[in-house]
Structure 1
Amino acid sequence: MRTLGVDLAASTKKTAAAVLDWSAGTARLEYLALDVGDREIVELFGAGSMTGIDCPVGWPDAFLPFLAGHLNFDGPPVLGHDGIEGRRLLAYRDTDRFVTAHTGLIPLSVSADRLAHPAMRCAVLQAKIAAGHGPQARDGSGRLAEVYPAASLKVWGLLARGYKGRGAPEADRLGALLADLCEAAPWLDLAGNEDRLAASDDLFDAVMASLTARAVAVGQTLRPPVSHAAAALTEGWIHVPSGALTGLAAPAPGPAGATRGHSWSENPDNRS
């Protein structure tokens, strides 16, 4: 099994990708790149078993009727969201509230925060994947799943805050976090990329997304309860790990999807 993790940003410059090859109780980092474009992501998706993407794959169900009502001077869909509680239904999805209830973390709003621009790119990317490999269900039941590295870190006991940024405190925290990850997962072979990972939170989050993609593939994430199932198909669903990090290296019951031929470069700087 090969899992792809994507830390998706609005621009390619801050977008990172990581591929892990899982076999014989180990995971080896086969591919690590920054400044990744859509075409490359689609190609990597096609060659993998499961992809975890750190970006919302949908918007709140209430958001589109609200915008349509505003555009068409149709009062009820707009007035139904009067007040702060009504506006929260426009800002947060079912999955966002579910994650907060289970982890205490509050995901950024896809419609009212810094995630809006990356999410637009993600929608285009999903359309490109659908054109080449078929539509992928937004609840993660296909080969593409929404992930949230901060939640994965917390569930796996790697409590990390303040590691994003280029200052000295952030770099020190990222280096310590990477060391903690390597200690907690001795089966993880970073293939000599430790320095690159310690210097870039984008690359680190891509590896975390790839690890979480493995959790999705082997059934070790929280799936949508019946009460959230319909919304998960339209809004998306954040896959939060349900088991320990150590459980990822156990033999998988089978690949999440068929893999396709691809030349996986041993050189992490080769993005062909």
Structure 2
Amino acid sequence: MDLAAAAKKTAVAVIEWSRGSARLVHLGLDVQDQEIVSLFGASDMTGVDCPVGWPDALIPFLAGHLAFDAGPVLEHDGIEGRRLLAYRDTDRFVTGRTGLIPLSVSADRLAHPAMRCAVIQAKIAALHGPQPRDGSGRLAEVYPAASLKVWGLNARGYKGRGSSEAGRLAALLGTLREQAPWLDLGGYGDRLAASDDMFDAVIASLTARAVALGLTAGPDDAHAAAARTEGWIHLPSCGLDGLAA
């Protein structure tokens, strides 16, 4: 799913897999929490394009500020200290691997979708049990722009409603179809070409397939502890063809 701060512009895509092929069987836009939780319950793996946690350093910083305890606040004096408050371990990992800089979950507009994501995680936990933030359960954090870069697809300039953005999105969708001929879009091609949100939901679903197959760069020992609390962005470690194997 491509999660927004509210139902508007939140998109979901469900892909059914069989040996050597896959089919897009559901595509939705402006999706409410209840549908997201229901789709999670019916799916083997869900990829969410939204942070599932916050930087570990942020909690003691805020608690210290609230309690007038200068110690944990002054630990983050200066730009480098503030970067630890703004970016998670996984954000730095993604930048090192791809050159992309994920938006900050604590210092950018991404915080609003993340708050909604936390509520959705709680709703999922109430019905299906808590899902580990490192992606080792049935919910994994994904980053469509990074997945597209790993797969060699040019993902620049396709977000927006202008004619140039629409043209780039249509071209990007065409490239995806060429490189993944095993993916049946189930008649949703025109809708995907008209919505970057729904397109991102499809990429999130494809990345979820990579997570399910164990074909992503998961957290190693050095990152494992932070991934359990902050979350972990799963980058594919295979080409598109590897998803249909």
Spell out structure 1 runs of 4+ moving beyond 3 A. Answer: none
In structure 2, the residue matched to 1:210 is 205
Q: Deviations over 1:22-63 (max 9, x none)?
A: 013111000000010111000000000000000000000000
2:99 counterpart of 1:93:
no
In structure 2, the residue matched to 1:104 is 99
In structure 2, the residue matched to 1:163 is 158
2:223 counterpart of 1:228:
yes
Deviation of 1:214 (Å): 0.1
Unaligned 5+ runs, structure 2: none
Q: Deviations over 1:110-149 (max 9, x none)?
A: 0001100000000000000000000000000000000000
In structure 2, the residue matched to 1:120 is 115
Deviation of 1:13 (Å): 1.0
Map 1:1-272 onto structure 2 (within 5 A). 6-250=1-245
Aligned mates of 1:165, 1:114 — CA distance in 2: 17
Q: Deviations over 1:163-184 (max 9, x none)?
A: 0000011000000000000000
Superposed CA RMSD:
0.4
In structure 2, the residue matched to 1:254 is none
Give the letter for the 2:89 counterpart: D
Give the letter for the 1:120 counterpart: M
Aligned mates of 2:239, 2:162 — CA distance in 1: 31
Deviation of 1:11 (Å): 1.0
Aligned mates of 1:130, 1:104 — CA distance in 2: 34
Aligned mates of 1:150, 1:110 — CA distance in 2: 16
Aligned mates of 1:165, 1:223 — CA distance in 2: 31
Give the letter for the 1:7 counterpart: D
Secondary structure, counterpart of 2:141 in structure 1:
strand
Aligned mates of 1:47, 1:8 — CA distance in 2: 18
In structure 2, the residue matched to 1:263 is none
Secondary structure, counterpart of 2:237 in structure 1:
coil
Deviation of 1:192 (Å): 1.1
Aligned mates of 1:160, 1:244 — CA distance in 2: 16
Aligned mates of 2:109, 2:174 — CA distance in 1: 29
Unaligned 5+ runs, structure 1: 1-5, 251-272
Give the letter for the 1:9 counterpart: A
